[in-house]
Structure 1
Amino acid sequence: MKLTRIGGPTVLVDLDGWRLLVDPTFDRAGRHYEFGWGTGSTKTGDPALTVDELGPIDVALVSHDHHADNLDDAGRAMLPSAGAVLTTKSGAGRLAPSLEAARLHGLVPGESVTLPPPRPGLPTLVISATPCRHGPPLTRAIVGDVVGFAVRRQGEERVALWITGDTVPFAALHRTAEELDVDVLLANVGGVRFGITGPLRFTMTGREAVELVGVAAPRVAVFAHYDGWSHFVDGEQGLRDAIDGAEASVHDRARWLTDGVAVEV
């Protein structure tokens, strides 16, 4: 498997020849985006690759469509060129007008879709939605639906790639970490906070992500969505501090992705 960090949550995954794109964001830095209910963020980093440099995409995995730091204008515009688009059930309803129904799959946690190989010699993939909670208890009505993704080769129990999506720690997330046999874990971190919501957090901090790695015990853990936007409070330094202070069983699993460079894991 090769992973290329593009910026924010956006990661290009090459899995056995399949080209998967996580949460497409390709707008340039400098713009402020409103997320609703008085929250918002400014994009502070450019993508490491442009859409034109990306190449063909077999599957776009959109954890949620309604926050621009996970699907911005340029990312939304490239979705029709992807072979398949997987997102939340509610998000599929919003994206449906611009995408062919046969290529759009809306999932709730626990649901799966089986994708036949787009080219000869590639395995069939089974992709399942995993639970997320994008904020404190009782905020789902405000922050909306979010999912993660567990990607398996058909016929294998082991999860080749688990993408947490934007989430805080909660019981269903930790149950998922305990139940899945994970090869590569891609965790979204950053410790998102907003001035209007005070101390409330909307994604994992570095410390919380390290704790999740300890529970899931993947072969390799990599991280995304901790920089490039103004709403990250814990950010890269919080993640580095947490990894540096982690016990060896967790510290040795962690790998840093290099912007714009395919890293084999």
Structure 2
Amino acid sequence: MTRISADRRRFGVGVIGGPTTVIDVHGLRIVVDPTFDPPGDYGYLQKTAGPAIAAEALGGIDVVLVSHAQHPDNLDAGGRRVALESPLVLTTPSSASELGATARGLVAWERFSHPAGVRITATPALHGPADEVTPEGYVNCEVSGFVIEAPDAPSVYVGGDNASLRAVAEVARRFPGIDVALLNAGAAHVPAKYDDRPLTFTAERAAAAAEVLDARHVVVAHQDGWAHFADGPAETERAFERAGIRAALFAAPLGSWSVTEEVLGREV
């Protein structure tokens, strides 16, 4: 496996810890949900491991995608500094006001066109059980996923902290033929919230989401490094195996590329 570094690839997706993922596409380096703090106690959440790659080792970052800014397991203090120093942050409208002058809030299905030729579309997500939706349409807080598209490049669906298969089905309907699905799993749970029910995909529901998307290449993040994750990589692998789609799951050691242009080239 090739380690993630400051060197950019024509295309690559790799997880560096928790939800934090690096995506190289069409000349851009994109970082999703940056969390760069060392292990520590955040009160109701405990971080058990730091990132496999330091922020400084990633070189220049062009775009930061923040699914939501309200929870430290998706944006801790170190990650917030990375976002504030980034030339562009795409996030939810409620999070944009926290993330400086370069932050832009997108509502579901709103598209941002980057000058480099990359299009990023916000997608819906529900951060918890569907029967807990507020009148504003949220669960827990406002959360976004994203679809990344560029000419002659694989498309990437970034699910964010989502527990809703219905939201995934909407993405599949609007964006058929997603090349790479980046799904948050971990079955995140907080005992005081929603009868301790999962706030993100369980391993089984992540496998179901991959099937709904008909994705041939799946990378799973948000399943390590925090104490409130109930499902880890072993549970994810078993779930994909039981569903008969183990070949779609592209796992790699944290800090290494999972899907690259070479992998996609061999699969075409």
TM-score using structure 2 length = 0.85
Distance in 2 (alpha carbons) for counterparts of 1:41 and 1:236: 20
Choose which of 178, 184, 190 in structure 1 pairs with 2:180. Answer: 184
Residue aligning to 2:95: 91
Choose which of 60, 63, 75 in structure 2 pairs with 1:59. Answer: 63
Choose which of 116, 128, 132 in structure 2 pairs with 1:135. Answer: 128
Residue aligning to 1:160: 155
- Regions of 4+ moved over 4 Å: 139-142
Residue aligning to 1:225: 222
| Aligned partner of residue 79 in structure 1, secondary structure | helix
Choose which of 86, 108, 116 in structure 2 pairs with 1:82. Answer: 86
1:3 is the counterpart of 2:13: yes
Q: Is the 8 A contact 1:178 1:215 kept in 2?
A: no
| Aligned partner of residue 86 in structure 1, secondary structure | strand
Alignment-mate amino acid for residue 148 of structure 2: V
Alignment-mate amino acid for residue 2 of structure 1: G
| Aligned partner of residue 155 in structure 2, secondary structure | strand
Q: Which has the higher strand share?
A: 1
Q: Is the 8 A contact 1:133 1:170 kept in 2?
A: no
Residue aligning to 1:32: 41
Choose which of 153, 167, 171 in structure 1 pairs with 2:166. Answer: 171
Deviation per CA, 1:71-121: give whole Å up to 9, x if none. 0000111223322110001101222xxx22xx321011111111102xxxx
Distance in 2 (alpha carbons) for counterparts of 1:206 and 1:93: 33
Deviation per CA, 1:12-60: give whole Å up to 9, x if none. 111132100000000001x1224xxxxx210011101112112100100
Residue aligning to 2:3: none
Residue 223 of structure 1: how far off its partner (Å): 0.5
1:125 is the counterpart of 2:122: no
1:258 is the counterpart of 2:268: no
1:12 is the counterpart of 2:7: no
Residue aligning to 2:5: none
Deviation per CA, 1:211-245: give whole Å up to 9, x if none. 11111112311110011100011222321210121
Distance in 2 (alpha carbons) for counterparts of 1:203 and 1:167: 5
Q: Is the 8 A contact 2:126 2:143 kept in 1?
A: yes
Distance in 2 (alpha carbons) for counterparts of 1:4 and 1:171: 26
Aligned Cα root-mean-square deviation (Å): 1.8
Structure 1: segments with no counterpart, 5+ residues: 35-39, 118-123
Q: Is the 8 A contact 1:160 1:184 kept in 2?
A: yes
Residue aligning to 1:121: none
Q: Is the 8 A contact 2:123 2:147 kept in 1?
A: yes
Residue aligning to 1:120: none
Structure 2: segments with no counterpart, 5+ residues: 1-10, 264-268
Q: 1:257 to 1:83 in 2, by over 3 A?
A: farther
Q: 1:81 to 1:94 in 2, by over 3 A?
A: closer
Q: 1:159 to 1:179 in 2, by over 3 A?
A: farther
TM-score using structure 1 length = 0.86
Residue 153 of structure 1: how far off its partner (Å): 1.3
Distance in 2 (alpha carbons) for counterparts of 1:199 and 1:65: 22
Residue 209 of structure 1: how far off its partner (Å): 0.7
